[in-house]
């Protein structure tokens, strides 16, 4: 079945540092890939997505590129802020089903 493996945290960075959170996946067919973010005390919200190979999703300074050859979708940001502190989830949806498969989440803490 489909699965998502992402870098285990927690990750602690200083403000303005570079962020990478690794994500790899296993899926049949050609899945769409996503990053969701969960701020403290809130539900998840979609951060960015990519629906085909070599697509780059971007939002709020975050980027991720759909790499079919390495089955990866790593999340990056050039300069993190304290307000980026949250849990980040990599996810995929495969085929024509209605099931989103999530990774375990990575807690990011950014210190001033």
Partner 1 sequence: NAGVTQTPKFQVLKTGQSMTLQCAQDMNHEYMSWYRQDPGMGLRLIHYSVGAGITDQGEVPNGYNVSRSTTEDFPLRLLSAAPSQTSVYFCASSSKGQMNTGELFFGEGSRLTVL
Q: Which is nearer to partner 1, 16 or 99 (CB)?
A: 99
Q: 68-107: which residues touch partner 1 (CB under 8 A)?
A: 89, 91-93, 98-100, 102-105
Residue 49 is classified by DSSP as: E
User: Virtual CA dihedral for 74, 93, 45, 34, nearest 10 degrees?
Assistant: 20
Q: Which is nearer to partner 1, 17 or 32 (CB)?
A: 32
Closest CB 18 distance from partner 1, rounded Å: 25
Closest CB 23 distance from partner 1, rounded Å: 12
Locus of tokens 């990750």: 11
Q: 3-22: which residues touch partner 1 (CB under 8 A)?
A: none
Q: 41-70: which residues touch partner 1 (CB under 8 A)?
A: 41-46, 49, 51
DSSP 50-90: E-STT-EEEETTEEEE-BTTTTB--EEESS--GGG-EEEEE
């Amino acid at each position: 079945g489909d699965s998502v493996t992402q870098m285990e945290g927690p990750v602690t960075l200083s403000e303005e540092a570079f962020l990478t959170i690794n994500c790899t996946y296993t899926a049949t067919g050609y899945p769409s890939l996503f990053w969701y973010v969960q701020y403290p005390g809130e539900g998840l919200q979609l951060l960015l997505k990519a629906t085909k190979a070599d697509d780059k999703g971007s939002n709020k300074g975050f980027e991720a590129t759909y790499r079919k050859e390495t089955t990866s979708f790593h999340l990056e940001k050039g300069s993190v802020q304290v307000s980026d502190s949250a849990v980040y989830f990599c996810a995929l949806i495969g085929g024509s089903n209605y099931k989103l498969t999530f990774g375990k989440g990575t807690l990011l803490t950014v210190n001033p």
